[in-house]
Chains A and B, each alone.
Chain A
């Protein structure tokens, strides 16, 4: 058995075949993923480092960036609470139509962001279904912050739920049962027995949701309209900068946005790996 395995392993690593396969993959990933990233950094630095730094230091950029962070954080809070609850219901409850419910959750993953923004316009926009009701209370959703918030909430919906479901499935239910037999209240059982098991998945879900929310563009473009300063998120800022041919400004903001998202996700990945080993 052992010798067989050794022979097999050595055999599969030897020769030109495997080397060519590795080379093909490295070249593919290099051309497809790495080259564009290098090009972006290069493009942002084309007028030198001082210009790069100066384009960061504009009020428009910081306004847009702050707005993106505010929206993303509030979306994350809602997603952490309602998303975890939904994941719990999917795993622990049985009800008719559960398979359909489960499939509906994946819809935001595949629907075009433009369609998402348009759907919200149909509900909340000027000719929208709820517009008469909204105008009575003088609430503006379309082309305003509530619309951007709803659009971001929609597109980031599956991330928290999909992250939580497998973890809730693997929870040891006998511990919960033991806690309640020993007289623990439901609240105590939740905080002391259930929550510690969910913490890492929650953190990872938060990171994925945050990255997705910061980077949303299509839905926000349609529902937000991008009124400069008031509803311009970072992605809209980049889009407008490109349209106005302020390339270095656009590239710099793109680097910052991409770097931020990658850092958030890598940090969560790092914590998850550390707690697993």
Chain B
């Protein structure tokens, strides 16, 4: 056995190296080079010009709108995702299997289709949209609430599906011990269950935030393209590309890339720490 092992490794060397080179080339050409090109393009006229493009009132408004709608969605998604995962794992009720299957639907439905659905439901010509707008003065479509709704739909599975496996693996003995010692249900949740779920809730929420910041298909349909009102950063980039405003397109693209990159790196670090501690 010992004699064979080094030999096997020797034999392995050349094809495995080819494998590694191919996959490196794949990622390099597909991801790294396009990102390097955009970075170079955005800073071509210097950092001052980049900063000027990003802080133009229209661009800054679009970036800030993207950030606050994504952040609001993330908070709602964290609470409702945690609740949904808890109910799906811990309670038995009729229709549970159907509910569990519905949670996955937003993963498969194209985001453009999501946008179309929301416009039909809440649009100004529809009964519900008309009611909300005229009776309650609440505009959903072509306004920030529509953006938040679209983002909630798209990212709903992320938090639920990161919490669910952790909750399934959670040892219930501690909870039973606490219950026999007279702890109330809310105390048990706060002191025993939530600490175990905090990390998956947080990383799932970060993931949905990263996804939401760049979302385009649903948002362009739901929010339209109204500067200073409902124009998000991704839609602003589209407008800049269409009007051949290359400096603006590159600068705001770099901001979007930087936000996603930072959030993805933090999430990866968190998840690998959890894996390490197990």
**Chain A interfacial positions (CB closer than 8 Å to B):** 4-5, 7-8, 11-13, 17-18, 21-22, 24-26, 28-29, 32-37, 39-40, 42-43, 82, 85-86, 88-89, 92-93, 95, 99, 101-123, 127, 129, 153-154, 157, 177, 180-181, 186, 211, 214-218, 221-222, 235, 238-239, 242, 250-251, 254, 257-258, 261-262, 264-266, 269
Determine if B31 and A157 form an interchain contact, defined as CB atoms under 8 angstroms apart. yes
CB within 8 Å of A: which B137-176 residues: 149, 152-153, 156, 172, 175-176
- Given the interface pairs A112-B216, A119-B38, A235-B112, the reply to whether A82 lies near B26 with Cβ below 8 Å is yes
Determine if A262 and B99 form an interchain contact, defined as CB atoms under 8 angstroms apart. no
- Given the interface pairs A8-B175, A33-B102, A112-B214, the reply to whether A40 lies near B116 with Cβ below 8 Å is yes
Contact of B83 among A5, A7, A24, A99 (CB under 8 A): A24
Determine if B37 and A39 form an interchain contact, defined as CB atoms under 8 angstroms apart. no
Q: How far does the Cβ of B234 sit from chain A's closest Cβ, in whole Å?
A: 4
Complex CA–CA separation, A254 to B80 (angstroms): 27
Complex CA–CA separation, A39 to B237 (angstroms): 30
Complex CA–CA separation, A70 to B179 (angstroms): 58
Contacts of A35 in B (CB 8 A): 121
Determine if B87 and A28 form an interchain contact, defined as CB atoms under 8 angstroms apart. no
Determine if A115 and B111 form an interchain contact, defined as CB atoms under 8 angstroms apart. no
Complex CA–CA separation, A198 to B10 (angstroms): 25
Complex CA–CA separation, A113 to B154 (angstroms): 14
Contact of A40 among B113, B233, B265 (CB under 8 A): B113
Complex CA–CA separation, A251 to B177 (angstroms): 54
- Given the interface pairs A22-B87, A111-B214, A112-B213, the reply to whether A118 lies near B237 with Cβ below 8 Å is yes
Determine if A111 and B256 form an interchain contact, defined as CB atoms under 8 angstroms apart. yes
Q: Which residue of A lies closest to B259 (CB)?
A: A110
Q: Does B249 contact A (CB under 8 A)?
A: yes
Q: How far does the Cβ of B16 sit from chain A's closest Cβ, in whole Å?
A: 7
Q: How far does the Cβ of A223 sit from chain B's closest Cβ, in whole Å?
A: 10
Determine if B108 and A262 form an interchain contact, defined as CB atoms under 8 angstroms apart. yes
Determine if B213 and A251 form an interchain contact, defined as CB atoms under 8 angstroms apart. no
Q: How far does the Cβ of A261 sit from chain B's closest Cβ, in whole Å?
A: 4
24 contacts between A and B (CB under 8 A): A5-B172, A5-B176, A8-B172, A8-B179, A11-B185, A12-B185, A22-B93, A25-B87, A29-B99, A39-B117, A39-B126, A86-B23, A107-B260, A108-B30, A112-B214, A112-B234, A113-B216, A114-B238, A119-B253, A129-B37, A211-B108, A218-B217, A265-B107, A266-B101
**Chain B interfacial positions (CB closer than 8 Å to A):** 1, 4, 8, 11-12, 15-16, 19-20, 22-24, 26-27, 30-35, 37-38, 41, 80, 83-84, 86-88, 90-93, 95, 99, 101-114, 116-118, 120-121, 126, 149, 152-153, 156, 172, 175-177, 179-180, 185, 210-211, 213-217, 220-221, 233-235, 237-238, 241, 246, 249-250, 253, 256-257, 260-261, 263-265, 268
Determine if B38 and A261 form an interchain contact, defined as CB atoms under 8 angstroms apart. no
Contact of B263 among A4, A28, A110 (CB under 8 A): A110
Contacts of B117 in A (CB 8 A): 36-37, 39-40, 254
Question: With A12-B185, A82-B26, A110-B210 given, can you name 7 additional A-B contacts, CB distance below 8 Å?
Answer: A11-B179, A33-B153, A85-B19, A118-B249, A215-B109, A257-B110, A258-B110
Determine if B234 and A115 form an interchain contact, defined as CB atoms under 8 angstroms apart. yes
Determine if A154 and B30 form an interchain contact, defined as CB atoms under 8 angstroms apart. yes
Complex CA–CA separation, A39 to B222 (angstroms): 14
Q: Which residue of A lies closest to B212 (CB)?
A: A110
Determine if B176 and A34 form an interchain contact, defined as CB atoms under 8 angstroms apart. no
Contact of A32 among B15, B156, B234 (CB under 8 A): B156
Q: How far does the Cβ of B195 sit from chain A's closest Cβ, in whole Å?
A: 18
- Given the interface pairs A103-B265, A110-B211, the reply to whether A215 lies near B110 with Cβ below 8 Å is yes
Contacts of A88 in B (CB 8 A): 19, 23
Q: Which residue of A lies closest to B178 (CB)?
A: A8
Contacts of B172 in A (CB 8 A): 5, 8
Determine if A235 and B217 form an interchain contact, defined as CB atoms under 8 angstroms apart. yes
Complex CA–CA separation, A24 to B88 (angstroms): 12
Determine if B234 and A89 form an interchain contact, defined as CB atoms under 8 angstroms apart. no
Contact of B31 among A104, A123, A211, A261 (CB under 8 A): A104
Determine if A238 and B116 form an interchain contact, defined as CB atoms under 8 angstroms apart. yes
Complex CA–CA separation, A261 to B1 (angstroms): 49
Contacts of B37 in A (CB 8 A): 119, 122-123, 129
Determine if B234 and A114 form an interchain contact, defined as CB atoms under 8 angstroms apart. yes
Complex CA–CA separation, A93 to B18 (angstroms): 12
Contact of B241 among A5, A86, A121 (CB under 8 A): A121
Most A CB atoms within 10 A — which of B1, B22, B26, B106? B26
Determine if B217 and A113 form an interchain contact, defined as CB atoms under 8 angstroms apart. yes
Contacts of A112 in B (CB 8 A): 213-216, 233-234, 237, 253, 256, 260
